[in-house]
Amino acid sequence: MGYRKLVAKLREEVEKRFVGNREAIKGVTLGLLSERSTILIRGPRGRGKSTLMLLFLKGIFGDDYVVISGASEVKRGEVVARLHLPSLEKEGVERVVWSAFVKAKGKGIDEVNRLNPYTAANIYHMLQFGEVWAYGKRYLTRDFVLIANENPGDPTTFTHPPPFYDRFDVSVYLRSLSLSEKFELQKLLEKTSPVDDMPQVLSFEDLKEAREEVAEVELDVEIMGTINVLVRDLQACVRGRDYSPIKPPALCEGCHFVRGVCSAIKEGPSERATVVLTNLAKAKAWLEGKVDVSDIYELALLVLPHRMELVREGLPLAELREILRREEEINRERESRGQWFLLDKLLKGFKADVYRLAREIAMEDLVFAEELIKLEGKWVKEGAIKPEETLGFEIL
Amino acid sequence: MEGYFAEYLRKQSKKTARRRRGKAVFIVEQEVEKSSVPSELIDRLLLDSEGDVYIVEKGVAEGLIARIRSLEEENAKLRRINTILQVVVAVLLLLTILLWAFGR
């Protein structure tokens, strides 16, 4: 069986044993298809977070995986490593005993929000670089699968800093079951014990092969452009939101770029969002045979919620959907106004009439303005325009 | 990546509707359906658009506060006139009843 069929079969087997939340299952499956994948499953108590985590771990590793339960008492030795005391006492040698969690290729963290920040900090580095440091020694974990879950509303939650969550590639939210789905769950539980009955569908080696095939997928430049424009629109702020202690909406007072999506965002996504979104787009193209522009906005819902802080905090997912809808609209406006056509012309050389038109548009579009200002720098050096005539001079 | 960017711009450029007249090229702007979620209060007031979060300049907010104050003053003045008119109507009604009663 080809690797694509194996991955599709893994998803099917999980779907057979997990009622509802099909989008979350799809999201986790796509998230698995890149190196050192880290997936976060979120939801209130009793939504099946741990079940979903175990179903995927069993489907890939059989019984050969390690799950640690998040609790403030969890010690570094259990999560990362401890010193081998007999060697230290008898021979005076510092031998590091790496934890089963570090050594396992299949890793699970139950209730990651309960891990104390010190323990969580120990796994930061592993999540990003695939290596762990303890007592001056390094252990290369290389490729792995890490699935964690958390209930953000849990009263025992530790507030992990945003960089911790940023290291999770994908996050999925589990919703409660509809009426008919509840009947379905009752029937399922009468027949079987979903996690115990979950078969190992593929091996980790198969998954690694699949990941290599995914990495080789070439995306259309339009897909890459959509990803880059989206992330830049969510990051850009003419007033330096990243460095300012004042955040939107207060920061936006009097700013003429408030028509963009920037005013709805307190903290934008990191560059990891671009990398992960690209990987997901490749995974979707590999697994389903195609990926189009509208898919990018759907995939963004897996990548952005845990990486951003929004002005409206009440319903982050609904608000993010609204921001993405607005983003699609902005892109249609850009297309209609021929902004990229104008920029393409200007990239080839300065033309006064095209520049005038582009300048007008740039007054309403920060991302477009940034690119125009970059070109202005070149034209000023060439003597095509004076510094005081530039857009940069006017708005920065 | 510069190459990819140029390629992206080229590809997007092809989507732009254009009309050529002589040497001049005109961009034919298409109608884009606008969102019902503005981020400016003025849009809400003047264009009757919907939304939950509005960003407003301090000057505009001060203008609105001044306008609300003057409307409150106007309202108080009209209330006073209204009270006086109510009294006048009551007196006139009383006079009418008295005239009707004693005039017979």
Residues B41-63 pLDDT 10s: 666 666 666 666 666 767 777 88
Q: Which of B16, B31, B55 sits opposite A258 (nearest CB)?
A: B55
In a domain, A41, yes or no: yes
- State the CATH number of the domain containing residue A317: 1.10.8
Q: Which of B8, B13, B55 sits opposite A263 (nearest CB)?
A: B55
Q: Which domain holds residue A51?
A: 3-202
Lowest-pLDDT range of A113-127, A203-217, A234-248, B82-96:
A113-127
Tell me the average pLDDT of chain A. Answer: 90
Q: Are residues A106 and A236 in the same domain?
A: no
Q: What is the pLDDT of residues A319-329, one digit of tens each?
A: 899 889 889 98
Q: Are residues A103 and A12 in the same domain?
A: yes
Residues on chain B touching A347 (C-beta within 8 angstroms):
6, 9
Q: What is the pLDDT of residues A349-394, one digit of tens each?
A: 898 889 999 998 898 889 999 999 999 999 999 888 888 888 888 8
CA-CA distance, A20 to A168, in Å (whole number)? 23
Confidence of residue A102 (pLDDT cuts 50, 70, 90): very high
Q: Is A115 helix (H, G, I), strand (E, B) or coil?
A: coil
Q: From the candidates B2, B4, B13, B49, which should be mutated to test the interface with A, based on the most A CB atoms within 10 A?
A: B13
Element (H, E) at B63: helix B58-103
pLDDT at position B42: 64
Structure token digits, residue A289: 């045979």
Higher per-residue confidence, B46 vs A185: A185
Cα torsion A110, A116, A122, A123 to 10°: value is 30
> Bridge-partner residues for A150, per DSSP?
A42
Q: Do A249 and B53 touch (CB under 8 A)?
A: yes
CB-CB neighbours of A269 under 10 Å: 23
Domain boundary among A324, A354, A375: A324
CB-CB neighbours of B98 under 10 Å: 10
* pLDDT-above-70 percentage for chain A: 98
Q: Are residues A15 and A127 in the same domain?
A: yes
**CA distances, A321 to each of A141, A159, A279 (Å):** 36, 25, 21
In a domain, A186, yes or no: yes
What is the rounded end-to-end Cα distance, in angstroms, of chain B?
A: 104
Q: From the candidates A336, A342, A374, which should be mutated to test the interface with B, based on the most B CB atoms within 10 A?
A: A336
pTM over 0.90: no
* Residue A134, pLDDT above cutoff 90: no
In a domain, A330, yes or no: no
Cα torsion B11, B15, B16, B21 to 10°: value is 100
CB-CB neighbours of A217 under 10 Å: 17
Residues on chain B touching A231 (C-beta within 8 angstroms):
none
pLDDT at position B38: 47
- State the CATH number of the domain containing residue A64: 3.40.50.300
Closest-CA distance, A228 to chain B, in angstroms, reads 10
Domain boundary among A202, A229, A249: A202
In a domain, A209, yes or no: no
Evaluate whether A115 touches A74 at the Cβ level (below 8 Å): yes
Q: Are residues A128 and A259 in the same domain?
A: no
Q: Are residues A30 and A97 in the same domain?
A: yes
Closest-CA distance, B56 to chain A, in angstroms, reads 6
Beta strand A131-134 with A137-140 is: antiparallel
CA-CA distance, A263 to A367, in Å (whole number)? 14
Evaluate whether A222 touches A331 at the Cβ level (below 8 Å): no
> Bridge-partner residues for B26, per DSSP?
B19
Give φ, ψ of A384 to 5 degrees. Answer: -70, -35
In a domain, A307, yes or no: yes
Q: Residue ranges per domain, chain B? A: 2-103
Q: Are residues A49 and A185 in the same domain?
A: yes
Number of domains chain A is built from: 3
Q: From the candidates B19, B31, B39, which should be mutated to test the interface with A, based on the most A CB atoms within 10 A?
A: B39
In a domain, A331, yes or no: no
Closest-CA distance, B8 to chain A, in angstroms, reads 6
pLDDT at position B62: 82
Q: Are residues A348 and A270 in the same domain?
A: no
In a domain, A208, yes or no: no
Report the chain B residue with the minimal C-alpha distance to residue A219.
Answer: B4
Q: Is A132 helix (H, G, I), strand (E, B) or coil?
A: strand
Beta strand A96-98 with A81-83 is: antiparallel
Structure token digits, residue A282: 């490749």
Q: Residues in chain A, how many?
A: 396
Q: Are residues A121 and A245 in the same domain?
A: no
Q: Could you tell me where the DSSP H helices lie in chain A? A: 3-17, 22-31, 49-61, 76-79, 85-86, 100-103, 117-129, 162-166, 179-191, 204-215, 221-235, 271-288, 293-303, 316-337, 339-348, 352-362, 366-382, 391-395
The b/e string for A12-42 (b: 16+ C-beta within 10 A; e otherwise) is ebbbebbbbbeebbbbbbbbbbbebbbbbbb
Task: Scan for tokens 């030795």, then name that residue.
Answer: A77
| Average pLDDT for A10-26 | 95
Q: Are residues A157 and A12 in the same domain?
A: yes
Sign of the Cα pseudo-torsion (A73, A151, A202, A143, in order): negative
* Parts of chain B with a pLDDT under 50: 1, 36, 38
Q: Are residues A186 and A53 in the same domain?
A: yes
In a domain, A367, yes or no: yes
Task: Scan for tokens 């964690």, then name that residue.
Answer: A148
Q: What is the pLDDT of residues A246-297, one digit of tens each?
A: 888 778 877 777 677 888 888 899 999 999 999 999 999 999 999 999 999 9
* Residue A216, pLDDT above cutoff 60: yes
- Identity of the amino acid at A124: Y
